């Protein structure tokens, strides 16, 4: 997901935190990935440029970058994956059988959040939603298996 990104150093410093070389390397690894990337893959990318970086440093900084809302974390197939947060929220449907990831239109999720806000008087801050389920192909296969034991 290579794209233009904001000045991360400024954003982090404006919040009173240091912009470390490890954070820069992690953000670079995420920026050059094609979407969701595991912490282990981030670690491997960072280690190519800074061999002394510890695995724990990667995990701590990924958590920090999520708190700063510069990075989003998701669970896919029971594993954490990360990607750079976009300017707008984005959402996915994930097939729990084949692992297919499909973009979910923001308007559908925004309508859901607006309903919650209206009915529950709760301001939803949702940047990244992942809904597990079955894609059409796996759903048909499951139905066929169920109907023909």
pLDDT single digits (tens) 82-129: 988 876 677 888 888 888 888 887 788 888 889 999 999 998 887 778
Q: What is the CATH number of the domain that holds 39?
A: 1.10.10.10
What pTM was estimated for this model as a whole?
Answer: 0.69
pLDDT single digits (tens) 4-33: 567 999 999 999 999 999 999 999 999 998
Q: What is the structure's pLDDT at 28?
A: 95
Sign of the C-alpha dihedral computed for residues 38, 44, 50 and 53 taken in this order: positive
- Give the integer Cα–Cα distance in Å for 12 and 65: 9
Total domains in the chain come to 2
Q: Are 81 and 37 in contact (CB under 8 A)?
A: yes
Domain match, 68 and 126 both: no
At which residue do the structure tokens 């729990």 appear? 96
Domain match, 95 and 132 both: yes
> What's the whole-number mean pLDDT along residues 142-148?
83
Tell how strand 79-84 and strand 71-76 pair up. Answer: antiparallel
Residue 76: pLDDT band by 50, 70, 90 thresholds? confident
Domain match, 77 and 106 both: no
Q: What is the structure's pLDDT at 115?
A: 92
Of the candidates 3, 128, 12, the residue with the CA atom closest to the CA atom of residue 73:
128
Instruction: Tell me the residue range of the domain where 26 lies.
Output: 1-87
Tell how strand 128-133 and strand 90-95 pair up. Answer: parallel
pLDDT single digits (tens) 40-70: 999 999 999 999 999 999 999 999 999 998 9
Sign of the C-alpha dihedral computed for residues 127, 5, 44 and 21 taken in this order: negative
Q: Are 46 and 16 in contact (CB under 8 A)?
A: no
Q: Which two tokens stand for residue 29?
A: 């690894």
Rounded (10°) angle between helices 55-67 and 21-31: 80
Q: What is the structure's pLDDT at 5?
A: 64
* Cα 67 to chain centroid, rounded: 13
- Give the integer Cα–Cα distance in Å for 35 and 79: 15
Residue 1: pLDDT band by 50, 70, 90 thresholds? very low
Domain match, 149 and 110 both: yes
């Amino acid at each position: 997901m290579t794209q233009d990104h904001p000045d991360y150093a400024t954003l982090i410093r404006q919040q009173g935190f240091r912009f470390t070389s490890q954070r820069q390397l992690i953000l670079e690894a995420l920026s050059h990935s094609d979407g969701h990337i595991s912490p282990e893959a981030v670690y491997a990318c960072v280690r190519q440029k800074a061999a002394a970086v510890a695995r724990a440093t990667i995990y701590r900084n990924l958590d920090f970058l999520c708190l700063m809302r510069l990075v989003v974390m998701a669970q896919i197939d029971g594993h954490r994956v990360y990607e750079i947060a976009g300017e707008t929220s984005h959402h996915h449907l994930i097939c729990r059988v084949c692992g297919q990831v499909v973009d979910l239109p923001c308007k559908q999720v925004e309508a859901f959040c607006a309903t919650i806000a209206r009915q529950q008087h709760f301001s939803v801050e949702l940047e990244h939603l992942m809904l597990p389920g079955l894609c059409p192909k796996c759903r048909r296969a499951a139905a066929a298996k169920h109907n023909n034991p």
